[in-house]
Homo-oligomer: A and B are copies of this chain.
Amino acid sequence: MAKRKPTIHEVAHLAKVGIGTVSRVLNNHPSVRPETRNRVLTAMANLGYSPNPHARRVAGGKSYTVSLVLPVASTEFYSRLLEGIEHILAEERYEIALFPILSPSRLERYLESRSLAYQTDGLLVSSQGLAHLLPNQKFPTERPVVLVDAYSPRYDSAFMDNRLGGQMAALHLAQFPGAMFAIQVQEELDEVLKNTVGQERIEGFREGLKKAGKSLPSSHVFVSRFSAEGGRLALQHFLRLSKPPFNIFAGADLLALGVLEEAERQGLKIGEEVRLLGFDGHPWTAAKGLSTLAQPIEEMGAEAARMLLERIRGYKGSPRARRFEPTLVVRSSTQTRSVYAD
């Protein structure tokens, strides 16, 4: 009834090769003739074979698993990041052991107990302030560490140029009449996790505006948690301060969403009375006609994964920094003539 999963032996038999050859095909070893490789691949397909990762690990003496440490927050951002990382890792049949930072204070103990069990080959750490914890001897730091969406000169890092993003936002919004406003994300999970991303974006925005000869009074910056609600509150706040037209740079798409909602409630015309620019480039922004700075999140994750794999495989060079740039996507929320919207 419950027929056992096929093993490498069955595949070898069917393809009329030795088990060694099958293994070599599995591991993309170069010294297999294309013709042989195809025979093996066909046999695997026919049998519905998939290799047993545990056997692989015990035989290979490696874990083929990477620890991913991130402040999972049921967020589009991490969802996409994970996707990019997973994509690369899956290609090499590596697995991910997820270490959500449920609470920074518990992280260390948690990592210790669990990563011991997993004995992972490397760490992928995605957290603004968390990098400081890493040099700490308590971490399994003999293994390679790569930072995602965070920068440190001590490690390989793949990160977004948020300041540049802010500048791009400024350049774009400066062309419109009306005052400038900004909403800054400031999420504080705990003292440890200082989120500097929001800050960088606003700083860039301010710099960009200065170049364009405009200014951003600090009263025009609303600091908010990461939620649509925050966007609504921000707009309410701005309306108390002054009158449209507004040019608002929201530090995250989700905040922009809140602004959109509130603007509708207030009967303000998006693209005219309220020009709005988000940050993230999440898929749903297209449907909402929200202009945004699209972040190549998946690529960033993928690149980090690649760097980690290289380290795992023995690469010894000095820390590499891969900087990613957002792309301006203009939609109706920053265009009066809706003809141009996509």
Asked if A339 CB lies within 8 Å of chain B CBs, one says no
Q: Are B79 and A106 in contact (CB under 8 A)?
A: yes
* Residue in chain B with minimal CB distance to A226: B227
Q: Are A63 and B54 in contact (CB under 8 A)?
A: yes
* Residue in chain B with minimal CB distance to A230: B229
Cα A98 to Cα B227 with chains together (Å): 25
Chain A residues with a Cβ closer than 8 Å to the other chain, count = 41
The smallest C-beta distance from A298 to any residue of chain B, in angstroms, reads 12
Residue numbers in B under 8 Å from A118 (CB-CB): 53, 95
Copies in the complex: 2
From B71, B99, B229, contact of A229 by CB (8 A): B229
Stretch at the interface among A22-30, A109-117, A242-250, A309-317: A109-117
**Given A58-B58, A79-B106, A227-B227, is A98 in contact with B100 using a C-beta cutoff of 8 Å?**
yes
The smallest C-beta distance from A179 to any residue of chain B, in angstroms, reads 26
Cα A225 to Cα B54 with chains together (Å): 42
> Could you tell me which residues of chain A, from 108 to 155, have a CB within 8 Å of some CB in chain B?
113-114, 116-119
Asked if A268 CB lies within 8 Å of chain B CBs, one says no
Asked if A196 CB lies within 8 Å of chain B CBs, one says no
Q: Considering residues A53, A71, A95, A189, which has the most beta carbons from chain B within 10 angstroms of its beta carbon?
A: A53
* Residue in chain B with minimal CB distance to A95: B117
* Residue in chain B with minimal CB distance to A75: B102
From B58, B79, B103, B229, contact of A102 by CB (8 A): B79
The smallest C-beta distance from A56 to any residue of chain B, in angstroms, reads 9
From B74, B76, B119, contact of A101 by CB (8 A): B74
> Could you tell me which residues of chain A, from 168 to 193, have a CB within 8 Å of some CB in chain B?
189
Interface string of A28-53 (1 = CB under 8 A from B): 00000000000000000000001011
Asked if A270 CB lies within 8 Å of chain B CBs, one says no
Q: Which 5 residue pairs spanning A and B have beta carbons closest together?
A: A79-B102, A54-B57, A72-B72, A98-B98, A55-B58
A-B contact pairs, 30 of them (CB 8 A): A50-B116, A52-B58, A53-B117, A53-B118, A53-B119, A54-B54, A54-B57, A54-B58, A55-B58, A71-B74, A72-B72, A72-B74, A72-B100, A72-B102, A74-B101, A76-B102, A76-B103, A79-B102, A79-B103, A82-B102, A90-B113, A95-B117, A97-B97, A98-B99, A98-B100, A225-B227, A225-B229, A227-B227, A227-B229, A229-B229
Given A54-B63, A72-B72, A95-B117, 15 more pairs with CB closer than 8 A: A53-B117, A53-B119, A54-B57, A54-B58, A55-B58, A72-B74, A72-B102, A74-B103, A79-B102, A82-B102, A83-B106, A95-B114, A98-B98, A225-B227, A225-B229
Give the interface of A toward B (CB within 8 A): 50, 52-55, 57-58, 63, 71-76, 78-79, 82-83, 86, 90, 95-103, 106, 113-114, 116-119, 189, 225, 227, 229-230
